[in-house]
Structure 1
């Protein structure tokens, strides 16, 4: 069995660790992204205000709304991504007889892996986005009406079933088009990471701190460039409003309406917490994934899914 399975397992484990560590930042960032009316009394004026209000109104548990689906999503997303990325990478290296990919090959590997990941995992993130933005305080529930009481304390499976029941199966792929366009995010991230790693490895062996720093740099570049698309994707994954001015028919329509209603600055709501979360998540992911890879190989050998190097020779 090739190493792409071991990379997938290590990536899944790294995804769980990085998601658990940074999840409160995801909650704050996501709620700011989907907030359209900043003048409402209950609106968040910024990252620190959102953090304070969530803690006051929902407690620490409010910062972890939807964590269950997020951990599952992180494991599946990173597992699928690394599986396909390493599989395509192995094909390129075998064909070129080189031990590393060039920039174009890195981008193609990232595109294939990113597209497969989006299609397979989009339903998980639709459920997670809806759970993450739920306001659990009693006042919000009372004011919202229209079945909001029944949604209090929803589990991931309950939210999943409700989305299918009310909006149909295809609604689980809401936001898929911007998500596919956002494949450019991991393309930029992993291409930058691979090229930086290759350059550093010419001079010395990389350690955990190197993977942490390289992961941070590569993700900072990717998220800064693609943030407006991330914001529109988050809004499209919510239950769509019946109000035409708040309904996004497409990615372009969403970008146009955000600019018209909230200005250019509206495209960057919550970017501070998103950048911090993305950079930390990527850093912990790359660092923990590399650390877990050897354990994943040993696990596959133990269960007989992979031969040891000694046996192979």
Structure 2
């Protein structure tokens, strides 16, 4: 279903409180939980093939090793682009998603559009958001993977040593061009299915729960109910689509080189098997469950009070 098939203006349902609410949720959750996100990325790219990457045996050991070699600052490497990325990504995602969903509902929030259209709205919102934010995620990933010399045992060449977010943007573009800023974009497109599954599950659970209570589908829920539905929908999407995040992180890793996505998949399978596609799953779940609860709770609170 295209955005112009019924002749309505797709911008008619734009409500900027969704943008503001998403930004607040993304920024707050990122500032609190960034160290867990950093651990997820480092575990995801840890394939044992490079001396430039430290070896971690578990979450606690990894946290202690990073703190010992890099200090508290090491646990917050990449936090600036992560805050910018999470804030803009969640803000844009909620804005696009609710605008598209409102268009499908013809402006009536009490209309239940069903799981199919929920997935379409989430997928379209995800693609639009990814196009606008992928360069931020490349920079964030590279800053998270900029180990201290003591942690990695190898000094990086100048083109891969970054002094901060702006320097990382400039050097990535200078040495790799626009293509460098869009590394990981293809697995990111596959990752759109993650958001689509998550939002479909979240919306359907809310709708069916309110129908069970004989209330309109857009009726407000309690804090505990929002948290339960956000957690369950995220868990469902995470377990289903996690491998794309490993592939995306590896293609964005400045310490590795893959010709394309197929090469990355083949090498991961060749050396690590199925396990390789789920590296970093534990810190990911530890990070993402409280993260998504904070994002959705703050979003529903801010959007609902607007």
> Any residues of structure 2 matched to 1:226-237 within 5 Å, and which?
226-237=241-252
Q: Is the 8 A contact 1:29 1:47 kept in 2?
A: no
Match of 1:75 among 87, 108, 131: 87
| TM-superposed deviation, 1:147 | 2.5
Question: How far apart are the structure 2 equivalents of 1:267 and 1:142?
Answer: 26
Q: Which residue of 2 aligns with 1:6?
A: 17
Moved over 6 A (4+): 38-41
Match of 1:290 among 285, 290, 300: 300
Q: Which residue of 2 aligns with 1:303?
A: none
Could you list the per-position Cα deviations for residues 135-169 of structure 1 after superposition, in whole angstroms to 9, with x for gaps in the alignment? 13x43577324228x836x1100111010111112
Q: Which residue of 2 aligns with 1:155?
A: 164
> Any residues of structure 2 matched to 1:213-232 within 5 Å, and which?
213-232=228-247
Q: Is the 8 A contact 2:141 2:249 kept in 1?
A: yes
Match of 2:105 among 88, 93, 100: 93
Q: TM-score, normalised by structure 2?
A: 0.87
Counting helix residues as a fraction of each chain, which structure ranks higher?
Answer: 1
SS at match of 2:275: helix
Q: Which residue of 1 aligns with 2:274?
A: 264
1:166 lines up with 2:168 in the alignment? no
Match of 2:208 among 188, 199, 204: 199
Q: Which residue of 2 aligns with 1:310?
A: none
> Any residues of structure 2 matched to 1:247-258 within 5 Å, and which?
247-258=257-268
SS at match of 1:263: helix
- Alpha-carbon distance change, 173 to 276 in structure 1, aligned in 2, over 3 angstroms: same
SS at match of 2:154: helix
Question: How far apart are the structure 2 equivalents of 1:249 and 1:130?
Answer: 18
- Where structure 1 has 5 or more consecutive residues not aligned to the other structure, the ranges are 242-246, 298-313
| TM-superposed deviation, 1:47 | 2.1
- Alpha-carbon distance change, 6 to 139 in structure 1, aligned in 2, over 3 angstroms: same
| TM-superposed deviation, 1:3 | 5.4
Q: TM-score, normalised by structure 1?
A: 0.85
Question: How far apart are the structure 2 equivalents of 1:5 and 1:100?
Answer: 22
* Alignment root-mean-square deviation, CA: 2.3
Number of equivalent positions: 288
- Where structure 2 has 5 or more consecutive residues not aligned to the other structure, the ranges are 1-11
Q: Is the 8 A contact 2:102 2:108 kept in 1?
A: no
